[in-house]
Chain A
Amino acid sequence: EPEVTQTPSHQVTQMGQEVILRCVPISNHLYFYWYRQILGQKVEFLVSFYNNEISEKSEIFDDQFSVERPDGSNFTLKIRSTKLEDSAMYFCASSPQGGSYNEQFFGPGTRLTVL
């Protein structure tokens, strides 16, 4: 069964460093998302991406964040200068269509630890 994959599973970085989190969505999906979950808190929407551009982003997704689909299969989240408060689990998701009734398929997540 097709699934969303994410690498790495765990990333440790120093504050101020840049990190890139990678996701491979399901191959025939068109919509891509990033969410984050700070330890013990709920899952929060960061950004949605369609047709090579951001379709929506939350207040969390400030200028330190960027997303890219560099090669037609990967979908990346970049944090330019990490802060302690960026420590969280980051989930990638994809869906075949963007309508709200369509299920989003979530990856296993990348745990980011900023020291």
Chain B
Amino acid sequence: AQSVTQLGSHVSVSEGALVLLRCNYSSSVPPYLFWYVQYPNQGLQLLLKYTSAATLVKGINGFEAEFKKSETSFHLTKPSAHMSDAAEYFCAVSERAGKSTFGDGTTLTVKP
């Protein structure tokens, strides 16, 4: 079965600093990977997805992620954090029939 591990349940950065949220996956077949953001008391919003077309994926709100097969990683980055980026972030891997397996999530705090 495919799985996802998010390293660091809480990440705190200063406004304007680099954001790095880590995700490692386990898969026996080429994976399809996703990052979602969840704001308090809201649903899941897709930030970006990797579908083997390009290893560097750009998403919404200035986020991007790089697929590294050799490291089985799909880390999420943003060059400059904004206060509005404070949220919960989930990495997910998609299995057959579109079923997704989610990581435990990382809470991003942005300090002024």
Question: Number of B residues contacting the other chain (C-beta, 8 Å)?
Answer: 25
A48 to B97 CA separation, bound complex (whole angstroms): 8
Residues on B close to A: CB < 8 A?
Answer: 32, 34, 36, 42-46, 49, 51-52, 90, 92, 94-105
Q: A17 to chain B: closest CB distance in Å?
A: 24
A100 touches B102 (CB 8 A): no
Q: Which 8 A-B pairs have the closest CB atoms?
A: A100-B94, A108-B43, A106-B44, A101-B51, A43-B102, A98-B97, A100-B32, A42-B104
Q: Are B43 and A42 touching (Cβ within 8 A)? A: no
- Determine whether A65 belongs to the interface, using a CB cutoff of 8 Å to chain B: no
Query: Could you tell me how many residues of chain A have their Cβ less than 8 Å away from some Cβ of chain B?
Result: 27
- Evaluate contact between B95 and A100: CB separation under 8 angstroms: yes
Whether the Cβ atoms of B43 and A33 lie closer than 8 Å is no
* A31 contacts B97, C-beta separation under 8 Å: yes
Check B97–A103 contact: CB distance below 8 A. Answer: no
A interface residues with partner B (beta carbon < 8 Å): 31, 33, 35, 41-45, 48, 50, 55-56, 91, 95, 97-109
- In Å, the complex CA distance between A91 and B44 comes to 9
A3 CB, min distance to chain B CBs, angstroms: 9
